[in-house]
Chain A
């Protein structure tokens, strides 16, 4: 991690809702993508250029699995492990406290982090 931030989507160009990526790949090889706005289930364009079929509603700033992740596997965001999968996670699924746990300390949240 160099402290260098990932490039934002759109690059300052005029935004076209049909082609602007709504899922951000922060670093090559990451297991998760970040929702750049609130997402409905369905196909969404990632900044990697791939289409990802998102399987459930995902809010701005939350994570979507970029690939299938096996239970117990380390989950990488921005090139760095952020915990381990507590269950098998399908590609396109919302990744949060219900399927990802800290390797350090348990996360304390109301209602499992859901609104």
Chain B
């Protein structure tokens, strides 16, 4: 990978040694009842993002997700907003953040005297933090230091022949240069499991991949609904396996180094599959209610930036990490170019090659890491979704390179 663009990448060095490409304060609601207060605390600041969990009853997965998101390299400090009577373990979350060297405060609405008092406390804390703390240390970063995630959303018949192969090409380049890439959605890879297994660096990992896709097929069969939306069909995709074939091309052609589950940090360089489907019998309803639930999971695995391919035209971004949008469909791009970072639909019209758009995407990743806002950042998109799930960290067979 040539670090050719002029701007150097100067990352934000955290107390735990992780290096981010954004310097965000996370305001975290620990139950839906605290969300409006959290949003009011963050209002008006571009670099203060709201994340949180709506449920009143505790969930191990949600706890791990918020711990990993609050200690993400792109996050420099956190404000936890609790109503007071919810089940979330706020003390544990605050301890994990504090141990990572990040400033953290916990505001309990019932103790502080309600909405207004809590909003004021939160905003004053953030202003004081900025006034008092020394500037976060900046350190040089290379493209290969980034963890890059990918997702497709609003897929159509063009996704699998333009934008997704572009991401696959970029993943091949990044991983060959010592970088880290993660693709996801075992449920959207149904039908590709045997081919994926042949790319696994060990036979045991290959068997794990096949078992995890089989789990996804069982889970979706029990739900009566796969990861397939009416818009996918309107865009020309007929079956789940046809969508999977297109989605799979985002993973490129290189060896697969491991499988992780949501909130499990990627252990080292290479190409990883994120298994987003819950473990155990179906529970808590539909597992990934929309694209942002999966984006949050990629970020909780450490993704500094997420490559989002879309044919129908998704507009979303995310809290915590920038999202780069690669539009697969030339007609969609003409209609929605404001929301897109790259036009891969040119490939379909013979106006660019996959290699050319892949080079543009590597440049876009570089500029994004150097601080240039993506289309969704400019438009203020900071979606965030976190719901109940049963999901355990993947074991040693899934991570043959981990020590």
Which chain A residues have a beta carbon within 8 Å of chain B's beta carbons?
Answer: 1-6, 8-13, 15, 20, 24, 26, 34-37, 59-63, 77-78, 80-83, 95-97, 100-105, 107-110, 112-115
User: For the complex, would chain A's binding face be called helix, strand, loop or mixed by DSSP majority?
Assistant: loop
Note all chain A residues with C-beta closer than 8 A to B237.
61
**Which of B172, B238, B311, B349 has the most A CB atoms < 10 Å from its CB?**
B238
Quote the shortest CB–CB distance from B223 to chain A (angstroms).
9
From A3, A15, A103, A108, contact of B228 by CB (8 A): A108
B238 & A34 in contact (Cβ 8 Å cutoff) = no
Of the candidates B168, B236, B245, B331, which one forms a contact with A63 in the assembled complex, judged by CB atoms under 8 Å apart? Answer: B236
10 closest A-B pairs by beta carbon, nearest first, are A10-B350, A61-B157, A5-B165, A113-B233, A3-B253, A62-B236, A61-B236, A82-B242, A109-B233, A102-B239
CB pair A82 B241 closer than 8 Å:
yes
Knowing A78-B160, A113-B238, say if A105 contacts B350 (CB, 8 Å). no
User: Complex: how many Å from CA A112 to CA B329?
Assistant: 22
Q: Are B228 and A34 touching (Cβ within 8 A)?
A: no
With A5-B165, A12-B350 known as contacts, the answer to whether A95 contacts B238 (CB < 8 A) is yes
Extra inter-chain contacts (17) besides given A34-B157, A77-B245, A113-B230, CB under 8 Å = A1-B249, A8-B353, A8-B354, A13-B350, A20-B350, A59-B236, A61-B329, A77-B242, A78-B245, A80-B241, A81-B191, A82-B239, A82-B241, A82-B242, A83-B241, A97-B233, A102-B241
Q: A104 CA to B351 CA in the complex, in Å?
A: 36
Contact A12–B352 (Cβ < 8 Å): yes
Can you pick out 18 interface pairs between chain A and chain B where the beta carbons lie within 8 Å of each other? A1-B249, A3-B168, A5-B161, A11-B350, A34-B161, A60-B157, A60-B158, A60-B236, A60-B331, A63-B236, A78-B245, A80-B192, A80-B241, A82-B242, A83-B239, A97-B238, A105-B221, A113-B234
Interface string of B233-260 (1 = CB under 8 A from A): 1111111111001001101110000000
The winner among B191, B239, B348 for most chain A CB atoms within 10 A is B239
CB contact under 8 A between A100 and B161, given known A3-B251, A3-B253, A108-B225? no
Q: Are A104 and B190 closer than 8 Å at their CB atoms? A: yes
Q: How many chain B residues touch the partner (CB < 8 A)?
A: 48
**Cβ-defined contact, A26 with B221, below 8 A:** no
Known interface pairs A10-B349, A61-B158. Does A105 touch B235 (Cβ–Cβ under 8 Å)? no
- Chain B hits for A35, CB < 8 A: 157, 236
Bound CA–CA A26/B160 (angstroms): 10
The answer on a CB contact under 8 Å between A107 and B234 is no
Judge if B18 is at the interface, Cβ distance under 8 Å.
no
In the bound complex, do residue B217 and residue A104 qualify as a contact, i.e. CB atoms below 8 Å apart?
yes
A92 to chain B, nearest CB (A): 16
Give every chain A residue within 8 A of B249 (Cβ-Cβ): 1, 3, 5
Q: How far is the CA of A61 from the CA of B328 in the complex (A)?
A: 10
- For B149-185 the 0/1 string (1 means CB < 8 A from A) is 0000000111011100100110010000000000000
Assembly CA distance A3 to B228 (angstroms): 22
Interfacial chain B residues near A97, Cβ < 8 Å:
233, 238
Residue among B157, B225, B350 with max Cβ neighbours from chain A (10 Å):
B350
CB pair A1–B161 under 8 Å, yes or no, is no
- A103 to chain B: closest CB distance in Å? 7
Identity of the chain A residue whose Cβ is nearest the Cβ of B253 in the assembled complex: A3
B220 interfacial by beta-carbon distance below 8 Å: yes
Contact B311 A4 (CB under 8 A): no
State in angstroms the CA–CA spacing of A83 and B240 once bound together.
9
Q: Which of A63, A95, A110, A113 is the most central at the interface, judged by chain B CB atoms within 10 Å of its CB?
A: A113
Task: Judge whether B116 is part of the interface by a CB distance below 8 angstroms.
Answer: no
B195 at interface by CB-CB < 8 Å: yes
Which chain B residues border A13 with CB–CB below 8 Å? 350
- Whole-angstrom distance from the CB of B344 to the nearest CB of chain A? 10
Shortest distance from the beta carbon of B146 to any chain A beta carbon, whole Å: 21
Task: Kindly provide the distance from the CB of A61 to the nearest chain B CB, expressed in whole angstroms.
Answer: 3
Closest CB in chain B relative to A82 CB, distance in Å: 4
Q: Which residues of A contact B351 (CB under 8 A)?
A: 10, 12, 15
Whether B347 is near chain A, meaning CB under 8 Å from some CB there, is yes
Kindly list chain A residues whose C-beta atoms are within 8 Å of the C-beta of B347. Answer: 8
- A113: B residues at CB distance < 8 A: 230, 233-234, 238
Do A12 and B353 contact each other (CB < 8 Å), given the known contacts A3-B253, A108-B228? yes
Query: Are A109's CB and B234's CB within 8 A?
Result: yes
B393 at the interface (CB under 8 A from A): no
- In the complex, which residues 345-390 of chain B have their Cβ closer than 8 Å to any Cβ of chain A? 347-354
A83 to B253, CA, bound (A): 24
Cα separation A105 to B218 with both chains bound (whole Å): 10
For the complex formed, measure the closest distance between the CB of B245 and the CB atoms of chain A, giving whole angstroms.
Answer: 5
